[in-house]
A and B are shown apart, each in its own frame.
Chain A
Amino acid sequence: MTEIFQRFGKPLGGCFVVLVLLWLAGMVLVPGIFMINSSLRPHLPPPLRGGDQDVYLFDNFAYLINHSNHGQIFLKTVWSSALVTMATLLLCYPVAYWLAQVASKWQMRVMLVLMLVPYLMNEVLRGLAWYIILALAGPLNAGLMALGLLDEPVRWYGDGGVVAGMAYAYVLFMLFPICNAIATLEKDQISAARDLGSSAWRIHWRIVLPHAKVGVATGCVFVFMMAAGSYVAPALLGAPGSRWFTQIVYEWFFEIGNWNRGAAYGVALMAMCLSVVLGLLALFRVNLTSAIK
């Protein structure tokens, strides 16, 4: 810590430290603690706040566990996010490999330009595109019926639609880290393995994937986290019968007005995400420093 003052002097170094403390304490840690604090207290009308009833309880979490379908929706969110993660991983790996190892410089440039627009595009607009595609009278149903694959339009909105929309929205967050990781693999290693008689599968399984594990871990962490915390996709592509956990959180806050319970649901979501992130990093034997660059 003294290095920062030596390097920048007391005024400027002090400025830096204060800014960082304001950020980490004032914008991240303290609000987080407030959220946990709220989640452990009951929802009371203003006059009763701070009274005998305002004590720490586990009620809000118990409610989530005991509720007839909130727990189930929570699990569905976890499961679907995992599904989105797997789907994007499988979808991206061949493309990432091609981009990083096979494509010529020129091909790579063209691909990157083509990908830039969907990457920089608004998440809401990306969801909206799928909202239009999946509509009952939309192009997907129209196309499938024209091909004779469907006799009558299918209702795509719902869990399937949400997963499709999420996979579309987050696919590039999986592609770029993997691509970057594979790009650092020397071509000679692959040639050497091929020379030694390895099959294509074996080369990928034993050489490319282990090399790219940091990229894979980074991609998985981000896609899972974004999918689990997404509100847009379920709001646009869900059906009335298929509610998503983020939607329930929103309801507690702005429709029912029980912020304490909403906070508890938020804490549950955060805890789940952080444990999945740490679990993934442990699974890939990657540490945080190398994962996020």
Chain B
Amino acid sequence: MTKATMAASAKIMMPSFSKAGLLAGLRSLAARFYLLAFIGFLLGPLLILGLAAFNDSSFPTVSPWQGSTLKWIVALFQDGEIGRALVSSGIIAAGVILVSLPVGVAAAFVLTSLHGRARSFAYALMVSPMLIPGIVIGISTLLFWRKLGVNGGYFLTILAQSSFIISFVMLMVVAQLQRFDRTMEDAALGLGASQLLVFRRILLPYLRPALLAACCLAFLQSFENYNTTLFVRGTETPLTVFIATKVRTGLTPVINALGLVLMASTILGAVLWEFWLRRRGRVAKTA
């Protein structure tokens, strides 16, 4: 091949090569832009929600910035109503955890010891509360218990929320159980352990990480629930109901301050969780 033909072929090659490179570059640029826009879409509204807590305006907003202030944050911690709403939400969440963890574990064991059609049927039944709109669960719980003379309140809220949160707990426990080596159970039985001891010393410790995660999930689900709670709350005012009512009756940036605190505690919780996972991971690795 002569120098001339090489140069010619290079000339033919070059443009097509750079064109492909340009296209790829454009594509990755577009992908980057899209990702940034998506993140902006996710975080932007929360940013605005949080920022409005510092605006010296009686209505929560950011667009006319009327000066920075911390008074809404201060007001938040002096607001007795919000405190009561938090306590109310806390009581409900604690109740939901107490109900849904044991029942979820029981359901996971019952499900995994069924086979064939019975298992499919039980499975469909057990996940159905997740597939029914929250307000329908609220309605049916209210109608049933009113017939028995029980009015809305903590009890019904805990029951109604638990009825679908149990499904989530059950799924998490089942996922963990599927990785369980049943010979450990046999080994313990073979060493003379009673079934109760096997459950307490082998299965529960094994399920501990899943139970902890399920506990967090149950708490969050309960804490943020609105649709179901609305129908069964009776005269109680948990946080979500309180916020929604405030929107109707006079919203102040105190609610934004509350949102900010909740976001901060979520981040803190997530960081702590990650730390805990890492430490566990490190222990397991050195192990």
Binds A, one of B3-11, B72-80, B101-109, B206-214: B101-109
B162 contacts which chain A residues (CB < 8 A)? Answer: 23, 27
Contacting residue for B131 out of A128, A230, A274, CB 8 A? A274
Query: Which of chain B's residues has its CB closest to A273's CB?
Result: B133
Whether the Cβ atoms of A114 and B139 lie closer than 8 Å is no
Whether the Cβ atoms of A94 and B143 lie closer than 8 Å is no
A282 contacts which chain B residues (CB < 8 A)? Answer: none
Q: Knowing A9-B195, A15-B106, A20-B110 touch, does A236 contact B244 (C-beta < 8 A)?
A: yes
Query: Which of chain A's residues has its CB closest to B38's CB?
Result: A95
Whether the Cβ atoms of B226 and A221 lie closer than 8 Å is no
Q: Knowing A273-B133, A274-B131, A292-B130 touch, does A124 contact B240 (C-beta < 8 A)?
A: yes
Whether the Cβ atoms of A98 and B31 lie closer than 8 Å is yes
Q: Which residues in window 111-168 of A have CB below 8 A to B?
A: 111, 113-118, 120-126, 128-133, 135, 137-139, 141-143, 168
Question: B38 to nearest A CB, angstroms?
Answer: 5
A228 in the interface (beta carbon within 8 A):
yes
Contacting residue for A34 out of B38, B136, B140, CB 8 A? B140
Over the window 34-58 of chain B, the binary record of Cβ atoms lying under 8 Å from chain A Cβ atoms (1 yes, 0 no) is 1100110111011011001000000
B86 in the interface (beta carbon within 8 A):
no
Whether the Cβ atoms of A292 and B171 lie closer than 8 Å is yes
Q: Which residues in window 119-159 of B have CB below 8 A to A?
A: 120, 123-136, 139-145, 147, 159
Top 4 closest A-B pairs, CB basis?
Answer: A229-B133, A9-B195, A142-B63, A129-B45
Give the A-binding residues of B (Cβ under 8 A).
31, 34-35, 38-39, 41-43, 45-46, 48-49, 52, 59-64, 102-103, 106-107, 109-110, 113-115, 118, 120, 123-136, 139-145, 147, 159, 162-163, 166, 171, 175, 185, 194-196, 199, 220, 223-224, 226-227, 230-231, 239-240, 243-244, 247, 255-256, 259, 262-263, 266-267, 270
Give the B-binding residues of A (Cβ under 8 A).
1, 3-4, 7-9, 11-13, 15-17, 19-20, 22-24, 27-32, 34-35, 38, 91, 94-95, 98, 102, 111, 113-118, 120-126, 128-133, 135, 137-139, 141-143, 168, 171-172, 221-222, 225-226, 228-232, 235-236, 246, 249-250, 253, 259, 262-263, 266-267, 269-270, 273-274, 277, 288-289, 292-293
